[in-house]
Structure 1
């Protein structure tokens, strides 16, 4: 087997232990020694770190590369910032299962979030079917995948908004059980997304009991993240109390009254006091990003995206949609969904004639079309068949820094990859290390590395990754702690970070300075079995 030595390294091992000087030996894809290593052995490859930092590969616990991983051997924005493992299947709306009868509508339902492609199959019977499709691509990164609640509900109930019957619940439990046995890392849901939004709390309790049986986490985008966030947390507390499931809160945020974050933290502590593990992830930016279709009330999506488009094309139905967007406080916040058009930007579209709107806020889109912003938005969704991405500014630096120092939190990108993306796609991890750890001194570099590696691995149950220890897989990043920083901006997001010198995946170099070895084929699908 291939034998590699890394020497002259400043080792941040991911455990929060103080950094130390030494070397690392890798045999095949596995770390066999860390610290004082012999220099006289016959190594196939010797990498001189030159005193730079060496840490575990970064783990993106909230990735939206679900479609791109089926068409590309390397996800450049991720690997170039040091991400070696991505967790797919987020927000309850992903790629498996997708029944043939719903494939076209599902493709349009998630196109604004996970992207679109004519090069792939849109029918997957199981998560194992999807895993095998990823493996055929011979990727340069590692991928785990959650079992998405929305896909499970789709397979049993289609786009119905009805409560699940006992028979339907048994079918959903059976599908989830199979997906977890096939290696899914946990259960995800997105309670603002179709069709997850239609589920009642007891549906989630029953599914979480299945996840608990396998000790897999419940990874949740809450029903509400603004004025009703504490009610959303109460729902999670009920689910955890009744099921005993491990809880992981997706992209921790408060979009309304930011002082409520302190009540949010107390709720997290109360849930943990039930005797379960509570974790969360976060991206280090004051804006979020999702699909524009999430701004449309849930009732308008009933029956699928084809019915949504019919309603958008019908003048009477459109007026009802418009009225509900403007006055409905039951959904994901008026802060995110009504009058703040100048803080909501189009990030991606599919059709060439709509590219002029990418990077424009809804006020500008309205001016360009001579319409009210809300009408211009609905016209764009109709023309694009719902496949529109958005970026929305909603919070402050003070709030996100308070999230960062919470012991429950690790970093993630939550990055949508198409169009003019959110800069978090390219810059999340170097930004966290460079801006918040080094420049702002919010925490030590050791703590920051922990929150990008072992903390993330532990949250997702990735037992053989996340730290530089004997027996762990050799996913590593060599970086300059004095210069690592993000470069991507909202104005020019497609810029690679600085300070990343080398990235190894399973012992194989994929990134060396600005060179990427796209045919390294060293990645793997991580099945939790």
Structure 2
């Protein structure tokens, strides 16, 4: 049966002006765009007054575990996302040698959650992707091989530097995972064990990634005090390896560091002038979200989560932690310094005992527990085995707009799915369309759609996706440009957006007139 979308305004993802046309779909693919007569037996979607666009591509997602427990990932589909990129921040599901399953689950829990309901013995990217494929996925899923997982397999979780042979082992693992279908390499240089690495280690792995025209996706060492030297390091990786550089959730954190924004943009432009391929993604909010454990000094994480928990039991080491958090360590992004204890809010815990702290900031948590905020926070991390999520406020709306309108930018959610999540999980893409296109008029609709579709498809190498054209996969979102917007707030984030009327994934309709149908319509994508 052919699907015919008619009477809509087509925004094809290329950045070209919108035009009136019909879109015909047969099976998984678009067969024609233009003035197409209706035929008997067509399933017709009347898009009068609506925009017809390619499905949105979320280049920074944390559904890695969720997709094995609940493969539908409804919060993403509800906002028009049809493809996700997993394996972010250098710490994810695979590779995972069997001897590291227990400590790695603890290390991963704050970002991606934990579950006893899955089989953790898949070992490699090939095994992980096959596991997803066997059970089916609600939307298209792709994967980056995480630096931290590679490092763990090669040399363990400790704070050490690899020798020449160990670097070769890391490169061999990288090659194996790229051959399995990874689209590139990710790292999170504030997360352990990635943070222990020196630049040359990363360059050598990126040389392998460049052979496959893969992308290096990086949560850089600093988004705050030392952001300029941090960016210079990442650009040097691109210079020496030839890999494409993609900065994750790009921003400048903390009022005292906003002075660097002009220089940050200059560094991007200089790199491009030199021929280094540079891009970044961004979520359209002034607050970030990650795991609460990042507020602890780097040395606390040495050896993994089990060692971290031992240190949290030591009263003297707690005092040293407080000293470092109040005075800083050169080169360390100190969240307490740039956000403040009163601007860091707990979003998720895993036990019932601490559910009363969800939604509270660290100062409030101290008052509730009748303790100094630092001690109460340390207690919380210990009791929850470091599986605590957080939101932190770091920026201004004018900065969001400045980065949003840069040519290097594409939209993402960076959504952590557990507990009381950041509203970006439910609303990043509709927020851009509603707030920044329609209300603020910060950029044209066609430019915004390009940043959600063809732009990320080009950066990551998704063939046959990201545009509306014949023989492309029918990943399509149809929305009302007059009403589309996010609904979630930091207080009440779990709210679906408005204005997303229809979503098709590989030619299957998963949202129809605003109603969601549970369909495993996605594919596991391999490069």
Specify the TM-score bucket, using the shorter chain as the normaliser.
over 0.9
Q: Secondary structure at the match of 2:466?
A: coil
Q: Secondary structure at the match of 1:321?
A: helix
1:173 counterpart residue number: 171
Distance 2:144 2:3 in 1: 33
Distance 1:336 1:253 in 2: 17
- For residues 231-270 of structure 1, what are the structure 2 equivalents within 5 Å? 231-256=229-254, 257-270=257-270
Q: Determine whether 1:35 maps to 2:18.
A: no
Q: Determine whether 1:508 maps to 2:504.
A: no
- For residues 440-519 of structure 1, what are the structure 2 equivalents within 5 Å? 440-518=440-518
Pairwise CA distance, 1:38: 2.7
Pairwise CA distance, 1:268: 0.9
2:94 counterpart residue number: 96
2:276 counterpart residue number: 276
Distance 2:339 2:467 in 1: 45
| Residues 503-524 of structure 1: CA deviation (Å, up to 9, x unaligned) | 1000000112342211x22110
Pairwise CA distance, 1:149: 0.4
Q: Secondary structure at the match of 2:72?
A: coil
Given candidates 183, 208, 211, the residue that maps to 2:209 is: 211
1:300 counterpart residue number: 300
Query: Any unmatched runs of 5+ in structure 2?
Result: none
Does the 8 Å contact 1:325/1:338 carry over to 2?
Answer: no
Pairwise CA distance, 1:332: 4.1
Q: Secondary structure at the match of 2:136?
A: coil
Summarize the Cα distance change of 1:152–1:370 in structure 2 as closer, same or farther, 3 Å threshold.
same
Q: Which deviates more from structure 2 when the two are superposed, residues 264-273 or residues 184-193? A: 264-273
Q: Secondary structure at the match of 1:527?
A: coil
1:405 counterpart residue number: 405
1:353 counterpart residue number: 353
Q: Which deviates more from structure 2 when the two are superposed, residues 41-50 or residues 193-202? A: 41-50
1:133 counterpart residue number: 131
Distance 2:68 2:321 in 1: 35
Summarize the Cα distance change of 1:517–1:468 in structure 2 as closer, same or farther, 3 Å threshold.
same
Pairwise CA distance, 1:331: 4.6
Q: Secondary structure at the match of 1:467?
A: coil
Pairwise CA distance, 1:401: 0.7
Pairwise CA distance, 1:367: 0.4
Given candidates 179, 184, 187, the residue that maps to 2:185 is: 187
Q: Secondary structure at the match of 2:203?
A: helix
Q: Secondary structure at the match of 2:234?
A: helix
Summarize the Cα distance change of 1:464–1:165 in structure 2 as closer, same or farther, 3 Å threshold.
same
| Residues 107-133 of structure 1: CA deviation (Å, up to 9, x unaligned) | 111111111111112333211111011
Distance 1:5 1:43 in 2: 10
Q: Secondary structure at the match of 2:418?
A: coil
2:77 counterpart residue number: 79
Distance 2:248 2:3 in 1: 37
Does the 8 Å contact 2:80/2:503 carry over to 1?
Answer: yes
Q: Secondary structure at the match of 2:478?
A: strand
TM-score, length of structure 1 as denominator length: 0.97
Q: Which deviates more from structure 2 when the two are superposed, residues 265-274 or residues 82-91? A: 265-274
Does the 8 Å contact 1:283/1:412 carry over to 2?
Answer: yes
Pairwise CA distance, 1:378: 0.9
| Residues 223-276 of structure 1: CA deviation (Å, up to 9, x unaligned) | 011120000011112211111111000000001321211100111111112212
Distance 1:476 1:488 in 2: 23
1:378 counterpart residue number: 378
- For residues 324-343 of structure 1, what are the structure 2 equivalents within 5 Å? 324-337=324-337, 340-343=340-343
TM-score, length of structure 2 as denominator length: 0.98
Given candidates 108, 111, 114, the residue that maps to 1:110 is: 108
Q: Which deviates more from structure 2 when the two are superposed, residues 496-505 or residues 453-462? A: 453-462
Pairwise CA distance, 1:167: 1.0
2:520 counterpart residue number: 521
Does the 8 Å contact 2:171/2:204 carry over to 1?
Answer: yes
Q: Which deviates more from structure 2 when the two are superposed, residues 280-289 or residues 253-262? A: 253-262
2:309 counterpart residue number: 309
2:152 counterpart residue number: 154
Does the 8 Å contact 2:199/2:233 carry over to 1?
Answer: yes
Q: Secondary structure at the match of 1:443?
A: coil
Distance 1:443 1:382 in 2: 45
Distance 1:109 1:249 in 2: 23
Pairwise CA distance, 1:338: 7.1
Pairwise CA distance, 1:336: 4.3
Q: Secondary structure at the match of 1:267?
A: helix
Distance 1:54 1:35 in 2: 13
Q: Secondary structure at the match of 1:525?
A: coil
2:64 counterpart residue number: 66
Distance 1:55 1:369 in 2: 50
Does the 8 Å contact 2:339/2:392 carry over to 1?
Answer: no
1:25 counterpart residue number: 24
Summarize the Cα distance change of 1:177–1:425 in structure 2 as closer, same or farther, 3 Å threshold.
same
Distance 1:251 1:150 in 2: 19
Does the 8 Å contact 1:4/1:43 carry over to 2?
Answer: no
